[in-house]
């Protein structure tokens, strides 16, 4: 679609004001020959097209012939200019699209370029048509072409055809013959490949063929198409020639490897490189770092390299799917490092300058409970002061209340946009036109995992691939056979039962957690036993560990026909369980702990979350040991049929999402929680790596890693992050902060800190703009109403555009199929002509040629 845009886009281009004319020109100039050729084809669409171009554009024809645009080298300059402008944002207006859709002749730009190509390319495309139209102009052209003089037989003329043929390949010869070192061209080439590299349009490849004659891919395509035609002419030499030509697009140093002076200009890649570099999201991509900063940068990379190495080894042994878990883990780790830095520098450092020494004693159990000694540290909300921090000698002051609320708020906003961005990116990449979603045998076959380097892993992967291919094939075979009604009812019953059981278990767990938490609160007020505080997190972690195992045992009863469904069902159930448990806990914190009149309830909540996180970490270690290590021992020593366990990606990733959700909730109550989580994630990375290396084998089912990652990021966004936002919003707007501790002590609710600040500001004339922004934008209902309406309108427009694009895709798809039919037809024609030409003698052919010349002159 994008390239269609591009094509349309250059109509708008200021450099090309007379385009509408020239477009007609292109169409009309080429249409005569085209319509002739098309009449042979039983192809209504293109025929209509051709007629259309005849009737509409033909009147323009004489004028346009005189137009200066076409005086010289026909298409090339135009094409180049068009390429140069294609990535200007101005050339993407939406109205363009709708126009193109509504105008009846919107197919023209594409067709015209196609025509022009076939026009320039008399040897390959017009040739097979000619016998039917001996009087046609094209035929004459063809006859007059020098190739024909060389030999009357098509196959014998091929070697000579070669240079001509290159002309027909569009640009490839343009640079090959003439201006190879022309940097302009390289840049244009580069521009064009750049949007492709973003993978915006999925139809790109196929469409570019139709649209752009000077595209690398299309040149290849065309070459191959032509070759295809000619290979019937028994000329393999030719094929190879054209093919050899093509790589020069990307790697011209094929020819210039000995000459370093020219290499720079001859590498299109170098230009691609320079444009990509600023966009490159990879951190390990240092770019052109100045020599001075080399040492620090390289030091940084050396530390990164440790990860890189590990990830490479994991990828080499287990493939991309398991790798995706580890990259998710490192992504979360980086994310937490960021939040730690933000919180530490804006909240903790100012507080540390103020704080009194801590005189509580410390014992090791407190590491797990987070109480006692930690209660009086910067770890928790309760320790922070509500005062304004002043330093001697510095006139400005630091208001802790505002710092606290703004830092957390800003952090959440950053999180929101980070998540939104990565989610949008992976959606764009992975759910491109799902309506053409197919079974994907082709995908399985074409995406061999080149990262695997371990010999055993390769063998295993081959075996798994075989099984998968066989399964898919048998699925296709059985697809048409509909199972009998009784069997289907049976299946439905089992699924329904499994859902009821799983939901029931989840609800039971929630109820248990609910009563336990309220009972626990009462118990703790009576007794001051530290170990008792660990009961709740212990139970919650047990539920989180064993219920999913119970769920996955359903798989033995529920026999899913498509393994992907099973994964989705398991993930849905697990997410439901975890989110509802977190929901119950939140309810408990906000409705029981917050109004229990305890001193510093925020700290208590922070401690609860700390305990949950620590306990979860312990359980993860336990799980790696028992779940994987003992399972391997059992699988290899005792019950051989079980075999080595597989690494359960879904369960592990869900675990990560769960802890991240807890962390987000806890960040308000305990600002340094990211630091703790950072450490646990770091340890977990290594533990999981070791456990994986020692105990596991790669998953046997093909795992659509990136699609799963999209799902996981979506889950991280939707129930998890949005839920956290709700909880924190309630905390900030509704709940009364505790009276004697924390930065917000004494306020009716936390948001009053902002109200108070605005009050103060409104008395200072210099800050009235802040007050204005607050009153009219942030605090105003009308503004949000208008904003919502605008967003809704934009969404609606985009939705309409998507609908339009779907229609376009369908049309283009049909067109491609028609082109394919044309191609097959032309190839058949070619074969026939060759058959016919083998028989008559050269003499009669030359006679025929003379006849044509005579008819042309007249």
Partner 1 sequence: MGSSTSQLSKELLSEYQELTFLTKQEILLAHKTFIELLPPESQNVVDSLTAQVSRVPTEKVLTLPELKANPFKDRICRVFSTAPEKDSLSFEDFLDLLSVFSDAATPDIKSHYAFRIFDFDDDGTLNKEDLKQLVNRLTGTEEDTQLSPSEMNQLIQNILEESDIDRDGTINLSEFQHVISRSPDFTSSFKIVL
Shortest Cβ distance from residue 354 to partner 1 (Å)? 45
Q: Which of 342, 418, 469, 593 binds partner 1 (CB under 8 A)?
A: 469
Binding mask 811-830 for partner 1 (x = CB under 8 A): --x--xx-xxx-xx------
Binding mask 699-738 for partner 1 (x = CB under 8 A): -----xxxx-------------------------------
Comparison of 773 and 824: residue with beta carbon closer to partner 1: 824
Binding mask 393-432 for partner 1 (x = CB under 8 A): ---------------------------------x--xx-x
Comparison of 144 and 468: residue with beta carbon closer to partner 1: 468
Cα 775 to Cα 156, 413, 748, 826, distances in angstroms: 84, 20, 21, 71
Site residues for partner 1, window 754-813 (CB under 8 A)?
813
The SS3 of residue 388 is strand
Query: 738: closest CA among 567, 552, 579, 594?
Result: 594
Position 203 contacts partner 1 (CB under 8 A): yes
Position 325 contacts partner 1 (CB under 8 A): no
Number of residues that bind partner 1 (CB under 8 A): 109
The Cα–Cα gap between 689 and 488 comes to 43
Q: Which of 15, 18, 254, 479 binds partner 1 (CB under 8 A)?
A: 254
Position 455 contacts partner 1 (CB under 8 A): yes
Q: Which of 101, 167, 182, 454 binds partner 1 (CB under 8 A)?
A: 454
Comparison of 334 and 443: residue with beta carbon closer to partner 1: 443
Classify burial at 486, counting beta carbons within 10 Å of its beta carbon; exposed 0-12, middle 13-18, buried 19 or more.
Answer: exposed
Comparison of 254 and 803: residue with beta carbon closer to partner 1: 254
Residue identified by tokens 């006139």 is 395
Q: Which of 45, 160, 312, 564 binds partner 1 (CB under 8 A)?
A: 312
CB 46 within 8 A of CB 822: yes
Shortest Cβ distance from residue 416 to partner 1 (Å)? 24
Query: 403: closest CA among 389, 382, 413?
Result: 389
Shortest Cβ distance from residue 131 to partner 1 (Å)? 22
The Cα–Cα gap between 127 and 147 comes to 12
CB 193 within 8 A of CB 6: no
Binding mask 472-511 for partner 1 (x = CB under 8 A): xx--xx----------------------------------
Position 447 contacts partner 1 (CB under 8 A): yes
Binding mask 553-592 for partner 1 (x = CB under 8 A): ----------------------------------------
Position 292 contacts partner 1 (CB under 8 A): no
794 CB-near residues (< 8 Å, 6+ apart) = none
Cα 90 to Cα 82, 96, 164, 276, distances in angstroms: 13, 11, 37, 21
Position 87 contacts partner 1 (CB under 8 A): no
The SS3 of residue 404 is helix
82 CB-near residues (< 8 Å, 6+ apart) = 6, 7, 10, 13, 16
Cα 696 from chain centroid?
Answer: 29
Query: 698: closest CA among 474, 473, 449, 475?
Result: 449
Position 259 contacts partner 1 (CB under 8 A): no
**Per-residue 3-state assignment (H helix, E strand, C coil) for 492-548:** HHHHHHHHHHHHHHHHHHHHHHHHHHHHHHHHHHHCCCCHHHHHHHHHHHHHHHHHH
Q: Which of 69, 239, 558, 646 binds partner 1 (CB under 8 A)?
A: 239
Q: Which stretch binds partner 1 (CB under 8 A): 367-375, 440-448, 605-613, 714-722?
A: 440-448
DSSP-assigned letter for residue 69 = G
Q: Which of 74, 141, 182, 224 binds partner 1 (CB under 8 A)?
A: 224
Position 451 contacts partner 1 (CB under 8 A): yes
Q: Which of 319, 382, 674, 698 binds partner 1 (CB under 8 A)?
A: 319
Position 199 contacts partner 1 (CB under 8 A): yes
CB 242 within 8 A of CB 226: yes
């Amino acid at each position: 679609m994008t390239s269609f845009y591009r094509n349309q886009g250059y109509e708008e281009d200021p450099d090309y004001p007379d385009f509408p004319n020239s477009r007609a020109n292109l169409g009309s100039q080429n249409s005569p020959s085209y319509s002739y050729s098309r009449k042979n084809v039983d192809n209504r669409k293109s025929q209509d097209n051709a007629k259309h171009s005849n009737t509409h554009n033909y009147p323009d024809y004489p004028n346009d012939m005189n137009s200066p645009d076409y005086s010289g080298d026909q298409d090339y300059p135009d094409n180049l200019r068009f390429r140069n402008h294609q990535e200007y944002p101005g050339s993407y207006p939406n109205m363009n699209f709708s126009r193109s859709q509504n105008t009846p002749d919107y197919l023209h730009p594409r067709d015209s370029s196609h025509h022009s190509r076939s026009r320039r390319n008399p040897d390959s495309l017009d040739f097979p048509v000619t016998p039917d139209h001996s009087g046609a102009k094209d035929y004459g052209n063809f006859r007059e072409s020098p190739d024909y003089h060389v030999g009357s037989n098509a196959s014998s003329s091929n070697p000579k055809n070669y240079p001509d043929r290159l002309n027909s390949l569009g640009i490839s010869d343009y640079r090959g013959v003439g201006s190879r070192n022309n940097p302009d061209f390289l840049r244009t080439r580069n521009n064009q490949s750049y949007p492709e590299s973003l993978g915006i349009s999925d139809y790109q490849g196929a469409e570019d063929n139709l649209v752009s004659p000077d595209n690398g891919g299309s040149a290849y395509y065309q070459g191959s198409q032509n070759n295809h035609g000619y290979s019937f002419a028994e000329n393999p030499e030719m094929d190879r020639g054209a093919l050899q030509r093509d790589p020069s697009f990307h790697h011209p140093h094929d020819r210039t490897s000995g000459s370093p002076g020219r290499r720079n200009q001859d590498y299109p890649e170098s230009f691609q490189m320079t444009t990509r570099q600023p966009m490159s999201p990879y951190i390990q991509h240092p770019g052109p770092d100045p020599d001075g900063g080399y040492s620090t940068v390289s030091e940084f990379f050396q530390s990164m390299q440790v990860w890189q190495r590990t990830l490479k080894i994991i990828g080499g042994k287990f493939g991309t799917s398991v790798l995706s878990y580890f990259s998710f883990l490192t992504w979360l780790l980086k994310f937490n490092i960021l939040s730690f830095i933000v919180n530490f520098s804006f909240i903790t450092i100012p507080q540390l300058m103020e704080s009194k020494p801590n005189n509580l004693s410390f014992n090791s159990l407190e590491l797990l409970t987070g109480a006692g000694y930690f209660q009086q540290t910067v770890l928790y909300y309760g320790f922070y002061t509500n005062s304004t921090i002043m330093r001697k000698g510095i006139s400005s002051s630091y208001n802790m209340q505002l710092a606290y609320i703004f830092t957390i708020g800003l952090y959440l906003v950053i999180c929101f946009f980070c998540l939104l961005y990565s989610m949008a990116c992976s959606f764009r990449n992975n759910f491109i036109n799902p309506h053409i979603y197919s079974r994907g045998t082709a995908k399985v076959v074409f995406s061999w995992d080149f990262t695997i380097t371990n010999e055993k892993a390769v063998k295993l992967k081959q075996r798994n691939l075989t099984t998968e291919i066989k399964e898919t094939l048998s699925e296709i075979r059985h697809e048409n056979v509909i199972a009998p009604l009784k069997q289907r009812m049976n299946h439905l019953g089992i699924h329904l039962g499994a859902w009821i059981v799983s939901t029931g278990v989840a609800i039971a767990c929630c109820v248990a957690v609910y009563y336990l938490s309220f009972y626990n609160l009462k118990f703790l007020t009576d007794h001051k036993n530290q170990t008792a505080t660990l009961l709740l997190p212990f139970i919650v972690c047990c539920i989180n560990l064993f219920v999913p195992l119970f769920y996955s045992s359903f798989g033995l009863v529920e026999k899913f026909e498509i393994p992907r469904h099973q994964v989705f069902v398991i993930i849905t159930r697990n997410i439901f369980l975890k989110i509802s448990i977190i929901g119950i806990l939140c309810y408990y914190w906000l409705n029981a702990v917050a109004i229990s009149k305890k001193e510093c309830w925020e700290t208590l909540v922070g401690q609860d979350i700390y305990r949950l996180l620590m306990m979860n970490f312990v359980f993860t270690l336990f799980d790696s040991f028992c779940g994987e290590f003992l399972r391997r021992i059992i699988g290899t020593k005792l019950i051989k049929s079980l075999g080595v366990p597989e690494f359960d990606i879904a369960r592990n990733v869900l675990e990560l999402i769960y802890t991240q959700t807890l962390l987000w909730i806890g960040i308000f109550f305990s600002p340094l929680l990211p630091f703790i989580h950072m450490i646990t994630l770091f340890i977990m990375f290594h533990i999981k790596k070791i456990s994986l290396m020692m105990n596991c084998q790669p998953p046997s089912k093909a795992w659509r890693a990136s699609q799963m990652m999209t799902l996981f990021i979506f889950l991280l966004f939707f129930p998890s992050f949005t839920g956290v936002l709700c909880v924190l919003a309630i905390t900030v707007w509704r709940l009364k902060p505790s009276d004697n501790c924390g930065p917000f002590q004494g306020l009716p609710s936390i948001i009053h800190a902002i109200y108070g600040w605005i009050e103060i500001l409104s008395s200072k004339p210099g800050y009235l703009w802040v007050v204005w922004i607050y009153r009219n934008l942030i605090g105003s209902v009308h503004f949000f109403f208008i904003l919502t309406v605008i967003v809704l309108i934009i969404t609606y427009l985009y939705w309409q555009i998507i609908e339009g694009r779907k229609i376009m895709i369908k049309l283009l798809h049909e067109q491609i199929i028609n082109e394919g039919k044309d191609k097959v037809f032309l190839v058949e024609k070619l074969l026939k002509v060759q058959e016919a030409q083998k028989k008559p003698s050269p003499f009669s052919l030359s006679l025929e040629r003379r006849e044509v010349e005579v008819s042309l002159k007249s």
